[in-house]
Amino acid sequence: MDIAATVLDRKEIADRVEALGEQITRDYQGKKLVLICVLNGAFIFLADVARAINLDIEIDFIRVASYGNETESSGSIILRKEPDIDLAGKDILLVEDIVDSGITIAWLHEYFTIKHQAASVKICALINKYERRIVPVQVDYAGFQIDKGFIVGYGLDYAQKYRNLPDICTLAK
């Protein structure tokens, strides 16, 4: 498998991430914002969106495994790494690479709402891919909407490869 086409280039991504950062900066004035990066896919998006937010924020990381094949999640989620910082009373923004079936982000939303006494839990996803949605989820901040297709780059992988591509691309079959 190799790259077939560029879907979103680095300039489009940078401009959109900058705009998301400005919107988040406006919305979270006076709040205790904590960005939670959903590993591994969101690491590059987190790095860029965090620097586009002009507020005093905290950053932590969570890692979950969702079993399935390389292109589709199965629905069973296992927690691999929990955040370390105290989240009670804080405003959590989950930073995710892509919401597809919605299973992962719905699980995370419930986990943070129930387990930690957060003031609020919202979702920021670079890509909202809605055709295969199984669980209804509200993506509060979405970088881009796509209906379908498997994409890689800018943190997104296929079997752990292509995460370092600066553009978001489709793969040739």
**Where does this chain bind ligand IMP (CB under 6 A)?**
41, 66, 73, 96-105, 129, 150-152, 156
Tell me, residue by residue from 92 to 111, as one string, x for binding to Mg ion by CB under 5 A and - for no binding.
Answer: -----x--------------
Is the Cβ of residue 3 or residue 55 nearer to ligand IMP in the bound state?
3
Kindly tell me which of 57 and 99 has the beta carbon lying closer to ligand IMP.
99
CA-closest candidate to residue 27, choices 154, 135, 141: 141
Partner touching 103 among Mg ion, ligand IMP, none, CB below 5 to 8 Å by kind: ligand IMP
Q: Which of 91/150 has CB closer to ligand IMP? A: 150
Q: Specify whether 97 is catalytic.
A: no
3-state secondary structure 68-116: EECCEEEEEEEEEECCCCCCCCCEEEEEEEEECCCHHHHHHHHHHHHHC
Which amino acid does the sequence have at 67? Y
The four Cα atoms 83, 85, 88, 90 give a dihedral, to 10 degrees, of -90
